């Protein structure tokens, strides 16, 4: 019995349940691939070989016994290391949590296991998901599989690199301001940020709680839909998780192959006129839009007039929430504690000084400042008001169009070291993704082409709240008429 290592998650799952492929064989091949390539790529912070092979063997046994199996039966999946697992370590790529073992599984981890996925390891990220390149990881370096002198994007860079280099069939990431979509774009894979509230954040280590959302990175749009089917749905342990009465999750595979008729695509003027938009990225996205026109879509000019405030608004809200969320790392409750504190205040100060990296410290300071008395009204409260205006811009746009399309990132993956000493330039690489989190709407990045030197370029599609079904269908229309998701990097 052989498993075609290059198939999609859906194909592998179907082969496993029909007894045409073995889950153990698929997992073994994945671990061989990791052994062969991950020294160079650095996608994983830890792997879970023994546990994964045991799970896979159990799945094969249940297939032989004719028992029912879940929708991800035998599919090797990787998860970002800011998702709590009661097996293995959960580090958030931070020295402060380097030896942390979570006492429970995140909701999405429970869902994956209930679906019979085989969790193979935990992937690298920017420390506490703060960053756009994976260079802020306190525990490892991840490179881009298409060009190892370049970054994989961030913060879910490990998950994106693992999917791109076929070291897993699909992965989970988290997205606060673009951390699923931007690395998906840089690594030439599909990355979906669901609507805020669609997927429970229970067990996701918090960064910016009003922005964070978990979602899949996958080889194909179909696999992203399959993963969303498994992880979406209400969870009483996350008070922002939507109930079925509000917006029930659907079967995202059901109508996926049905193209949308009379599709109206909004082209955001501010996104195409932005400074710093790379000409090759622009022409690739304009070509992709022609593909949609050939499929009968109509392009409509849209203005989102408050977009110019998105970066400032995001970095006020995200850092304010982060400064509060990260107060819990005090040297007492979790993780690292300084070796010889002078007194109890020093336990706090020195544990944090030793445990957090420079970007995390910068954000805690920015956020504390924005929340401090005297500045709260001028910065934080103002940012919340602008956030509402940004939301309003999107609501108005979606009265006229079905979706909005733009590049996922203004430029192809940049060189390692190129932006790390210039945080403001680094923050600009999120210019097209962060407003989406401020608004809460769903968005997907799909491969839309390649630069002259074979670097992937991603296209971002956005729809209104809780319409992931439509979003995925629009993405699938493009994928079905192009071959960009079939390409993979030469390792």
Residues in contact with ligand GLN by CB under 6 A are 129-132, 155, 175-179, 207, 318, 430
Tokens 């108005």 belong to 396
Helix axes 468-480, 221-231, angle to 10 degrees: 160
- Residue 158 or 177 with smaller CB distance to ligand GLN: 177
* Cβ 285 to ligand GLN shortest distance, Å: 21
- Tell me how far, at minimum, the Cβ of 432 lies from ligand GLN, in Å: 12
Residue 42 CB, shortest distance to ligand GLN, in Å, is 19
Catalytic member of 80, 111, 419, 470: 80
In a 10 Å sphere around its CB, with 0-12 CB exposed, 13-18 middle and 19+ buried, how is residue 246 labelled?
exposed
CB of residue 178 vs ligand GLN: minimum separation in angstroms?
A: 5
Among 8, 133, 137, 155, the one annotated catalytic: 155
Residue 179 among the catalytic residues: yes
Helix (H), strand (E) at residue 407: strand 403-407
Nearest residue to 289 (alpha-carbon basis) of 464, 40, 459, 100: 459
* Closest C-alpha to 408, from 478, 475, 460, 456: 460
- Determine whether 80 is an active site residue: yes
Smallest separation, CB 342 to ligand GLN (Å): 34
Rounded CA-CA distance 134/141 in Å is: 7
Work out whether strand 456-462 and strand 443-450 pair parallel, antiparallel, or are unpaired.
antiparallel
Give whichever of 207 and 432 is closer to ligand GLN, judged by the CB atom.
Answer: 207
Q: Are strands 456-462 and 403-407 parallel, antiparallel or unpaired?
A: antiparallel
- Alpha-carbon distance of 144 to 158, in angstroms, equals 9
Q: Residue 159 or residue 176: which is nearer to ligand GLN going by CB?
A: 176
Tell me the residue number closest to ligand GLN, measured at CB: 179
Q: Least Å distance between CB 182 and ligand GLN? A: 7
How many helices (H) and strands (E) in the chain?
Answer: 17, 11
Which CB, 131 or 449, lies closer to ligand GLN? 131
> Chain-centre distance of CA 348, in angstroms?
31
Instruction: Please say which residue, 131 or 188, places its beta carbon nearer to ligand GLN.
Output: 131
Instruction: Between 181 and 352, name the residue whose CB sits nearer to ligand GLN.
Output: 181
CB of 374 to ligand GLN, least distance (A): 25
Dihedral, 255, 476, 399, 241 alpha carbons, nearest 10: 70
Task: Mark whether 22 is an active-site residue.
Answer: no
Q: Which two tokens stand for residue 334?
A: 């979790």
Contact 280, 457 (CB under 8 A): yes
Half-sphere exposure of 41 (CA within 13 A, CB side): 30
Is 69:116 a contact under the CB 8 Å cutoff?
A: yes
Q: For ligand GLN, which is the closer residue by CB, 134 or 260? A: 134
Spacing of C-alpha 180 from chain mean position: 2
Catalytic residue of the set 94, 132, 165, 179: 179
User: What is the distance, to the nearest Å, from the Cα of residue 407 to the centroid of all Cα atoms in its chain?
Assistant: 16
Q: In this structure, what DSSP letter does residue 457 have?
A: E
Among 372, 378, 356, 366, which residue's Cα sits nearest to residue 322?
A: 366
Nearest to 327 by CA among 348, 345, 347: 348
Compare residues 154 and 331 and give the one whose CB is closer to ligand GLN: 154
**What's the closest the beta carbon of residue 345 comes to ligand GLN, in angstroms?**
29
Token representation of residue 413: 């993956």
In angstroms, give the least distance from the CB of 176 to ligand GLN: 3
Cβ closest to ligand GLN, residue 140 vs residue 173: 173
User: Cα–Cα distances in Å, from 362 out to 320, 365, 367, 429, 485?
Assistant: 12, 5, 9, 18, 37
In the DSSP assignment, the letter for residue 485 is G
Q: Which residues are catalytic?
A: 80, 155, 179
């Amino acid at each position: 019995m052989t498993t075609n290592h290059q198939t999609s998650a859906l194909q592998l799952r179907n082969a496993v349940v029909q007894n045409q492929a073995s889950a153990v064989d698929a997992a073994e091949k994945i671990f061989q691939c990791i052994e062969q390539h991950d020294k160079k790529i650095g996608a994983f912070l830890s792997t879970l070989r023994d546990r994964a092979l045991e799970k896979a063997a159990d799945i094969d046994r249940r297939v032989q016994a004719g028992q029912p199996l879940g929708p991800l039966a035998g599919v090797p999946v990787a998860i970002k290391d800011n998702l709590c697992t009661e097996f293995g370590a959960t580090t958030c790529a931070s020295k402060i949590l380097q030896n942390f073992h979570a006492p429970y599984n995140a909701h999405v981890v429970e869902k994956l296991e209930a679906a019979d996925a085989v969790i193979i390891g935990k992937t690298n990220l920017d420390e506490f998901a703060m960053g756009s390149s994976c260079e802020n990881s306190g525990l490892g370096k991840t490179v881009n599989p298409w060009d190892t002198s370049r970054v994989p994007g961030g913060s879910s860079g490990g998950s994106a690199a693992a999917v791109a280099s076929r070291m897993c069939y699909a992965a989970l990431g988290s997205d606060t301001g673009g951390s699923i979509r931007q690395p998906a774009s840089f690594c030439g894979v599909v990355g979906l940020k669901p609507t805020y509230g669609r997927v429970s954040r229970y067990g996701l280590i918090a960064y910016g709680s009003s922005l964070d959302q978990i979602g899949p990175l996958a080889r194909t749009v179909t696999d992203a839909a399959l993963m969303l089917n498994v992880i979406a749905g209400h969870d009483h342990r996350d008070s922002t998780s939507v109930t079925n009465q509000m917006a029930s999750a659907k079967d995202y595979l059901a109508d996926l192959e049905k193209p949308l008729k009379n599709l109206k695509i909004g082209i955001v003027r501010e996104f195409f006129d932005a400074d710093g938009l790379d000409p090759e990225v622009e022409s690739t996205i304009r070509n992709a839009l022609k593909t949609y026109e050939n499929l009968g879509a109509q392009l409509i000019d849209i203005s989102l007039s408050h977009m110019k405030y998105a970066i400032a608004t995001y970095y006020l809200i995200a850092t304010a929430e982060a400064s509060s969320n990260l107060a819990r790392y005090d040297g007492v409750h979790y993780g690292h504690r300084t070796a010889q504190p002078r007194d109890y205040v020093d336990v706090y100060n020195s544990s944090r000084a030793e445990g957090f990296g420079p970007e995390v410290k910068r954000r805690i300071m920015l956020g504390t400042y924005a929340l401090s008395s005297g500045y709260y009204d001028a910065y934080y409260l103002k940012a919340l008001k602008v956030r509402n205006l940004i939301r309003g811009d999107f609501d108005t746009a979606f009265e006229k169009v079905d979706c909005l399309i733009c590049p996922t990132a203004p430029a192809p993956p940049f060189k390692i070291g190129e932006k790390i000493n210039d945080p403001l330039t680094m923050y600009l690489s999120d210019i097209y993704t962060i407003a989406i989190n401020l608004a809460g709407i769903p968005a997907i990045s799909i491969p839309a082409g390649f630069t002259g030197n074979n670097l992937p370029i991603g296209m971002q599609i956005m729809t209104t709240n809780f319409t992931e079904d439509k979003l995925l269908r629009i993405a699938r229309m493009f994928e079905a008429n192009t071959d960009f998701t079939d390409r993979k990097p030469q390792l």
